[in-house]
Amino acid sequence: MTNNIPIEDQYKRTSLFEKENINYLVHVLKRFNTVPKINNINIITSNTVPKVFKIVPNKSIIIGALYLRNPVLALVYLRYGIEWQLWYKSLEGEKKDTSLCNIAALEVTRIFYKLLPKEDKEKLENVDYFLINLIKSDDSLNAESLLNHEELEAFHGLNTGDKIFEKSWKPIVDNLAKPTEYLLMDGGDFRLNIDEIALLNKYGCRPFPRPEAFTFASSTATSVSNFAFDKTDKARSILIKNSLKNGFKESAIEFSELLKSNLRKIFTLNDACEIIFSPSGTDSSLQIAAISQIVTDKEITHILVASDETGSGVPAALKGCHFENNTALNYPVKKGDKMEGFRDVDLIKIPFRDEKGILKSSEKLDAEVLEAITETYKLGRQAILHVMDHSKLGYQSPSVKMMQEIDDLKEVSLQVIIDAAQLRLDPADIQNYLNKGYIVSITGSKYFTGPPYSGALIFPECVSQQITDAKKKLPKGLTQYFNHSDWPVNWFCSKELSDGFNYGSYMRWNAAIVEMDRYYKTPILYRNMGIEMFCNFIEDSIKDAAFLKPVYGDKPNVGNEEFGIRNIRTIFPFFILKNKEVLSVENVKKLYTLLNSDLSNKFEGESLEIIRLAAQKCHIGQAVNVKYEDDIQSAVLRISLGARVISESWVNRDISLYFRNIEAQMSQITVIIKKIELILNTPELLK
């Protein structure tokens, strides 16, 4: 075939590249970046046969020029072709099983199509192409019906004789024939679903890279980075190959254990420290609630410190109640209903703020914690103390001094849980907690900016042994939330949980661990200097803006002056004022959404500088309700340091470039504050 040119080696001034079309073409090419990157597969365009779409196994994908006139059409076809090549490369032996490639590639492409924004789908409404018609079809297409699909076979032209769908393929297709961006939102709950316009979830981020946004939202959630996405996409490819070679179950268990091993290495943990992954921090609280019921026969009291600044579903989870209307394993449930098998428990809430919204002193919080423990002890109950290491506004409680006193209460039946969901800790901090016998609850999605919904519990050896020795089974209601594979193999209690594997949780953790690894590769001197430099700039910038009012309490409680991530403020909450009056909760939430959106169409006719400012998407920590000056209900937004500020600045071990990159991100903070001011000065935006 002549006149075939690799797609990246041509740029003809056709109508596709005209000024009015170029932005849309860039939009489509950005999405193409989520397609797997496979070595030695060329994408070639054909001008001589404009209607051709052909897969040359292990070599190339040939796509006719006619497809390229509609970039979304080309995107969908190429997504199919590249996925087909990925599965073909994963096959062992003589590679006769092309029907598996057809089925897997079609399933991935159908999901990929569903995740396209509405405007892209509209570009495909009136086209009549076989693949588009097939993926848009409402007909149920099972594996058997696709085995001898002539049109799919025609794409590659391989005649492999009898077509059989092997039984061993089903779990591989069910779990791994999904785009990586889908896996990163799978195995959670409705809060990870994305809208069809901006492709954002409830937390204002998406399951594939969003480099166009200025992002300092690590107190809430962050879109996955290009680096972590590519590494996780590669992990999916390896898992497909390993599953076809060694079997699905063995490969899934091996991957889960590898993730736990990597997490232990990053934080220098003893191999005897068991780890349980969970879909979210709230799911981790549910695991704690269940475990506490099998290790003691006593009545249980959970003492929840910072109840007003922990996850909204945590109190329900600790009581053994459903906290959403569906579970991570996609069971429909009713929020608030009690799960089967849970005993009744008491829950004592100790909020950071009093009824008037005033932040309590450290001494006041310590006194309330001690009183709760004392009263629980007098009643002969088991106390489970949930300590807040770092809240969503940056506070800690109880104090270091109070924790030392609590550790000395030898006669009290007490288990301490550290809520380190923000994970603004150094490895030594985690080791210190575990050495004291505390269970540590973490997520990879806050400070370390992994995809949202990656929770884990880390158990010290002494507690793990307690659970190993317990011969009771976990409450039956947990079968709707967790698989047996999520739990340590030597724990009897979890034997009757569901079969299966939560690959969504695994993939999110893979992305988070990738971020942790590159963060710690930055030398500690430059890492800590960058942290202080960046955080000082945020603090000064907020103070200098007359329309922002910072909400900083005392410095976080520390036991010494040695620098550590938990010894410095890295979350910066602030009220927003307009004409010296604080915004209502509704307007704060509205401003948060506007800040994270392209508003350029609202400023037509303004200067180019204003239009660019309005267009810039800025993602920061979402609104938290807080009373202003103790009597006016309002909410604060948050700008936060995330690990990526450091790791993405450390390039090629170049120190001068590192600090220049930090300064570039400081400039992004300035833009965010200017956009807040622009929104405030445009009254119709907040109506």
Phi, psi (rounded to 5 degrees) for 661: -65, -40
**Which one, of 572, 517, 543, lies nearest residue 231 by Cα?**
517
Output the pLDDT for position 13: 54
Bridge partners for 582 per DSSP: 577
Q: What is the DSSP letter of 212?
A: T
Whole-number Å distance between alpha carbons of 627 and 219: 19
> 450: which 2 tokens?
């992994």
Phi, psi (rounded to 5 degrees) for 177: -85, 60
Helix or strand or coil: residue 567? helix
Residues of the chain with pLDDT under 50: 1-2, 554-559
Q: Under a CB-based contact definition with an 8 Å cutoff, are residues 473 and 530 in contact? A: no
Whole-number Å distance between alpha carbons of 678 and 668: 15
Whole-number Å distance between alpha carbons of 453 and 281: 7
Output the pLDDT for position 382: 96
Whole-number Å distance between alpha carbons of 337 and 322: 6
Whole-number Å distance between alpha carbons of 367 and 216: 35
Output the pLDDT for position 553: 55
- Residue given tokens 């405030």 in the structure block: 680
Give the relative orientation of helices 71-90 and 98-114 as an angle to the nearest 10 degrees.
140
Distances (CA, A) of 333 to 133, 182, 278, 327: 35, 23, 18, 7
Whole-number Å distance between alpha carbons of 310 and 308: 6
DSSP strand pairing (548-550 vs 618-628): unpaired
Q: Can you list the positions of beta strands (E) in 308-452?
A: 346-350, 382-388, 414-420, 439-443
> 561: which 2 tokens?
């002056």
- Residue given tokens 């000395």 in the structure block: 408
How far out from the chain centre does Cα 422 lie? Answer: 13
pTM beyond cutoff 0.85: yes
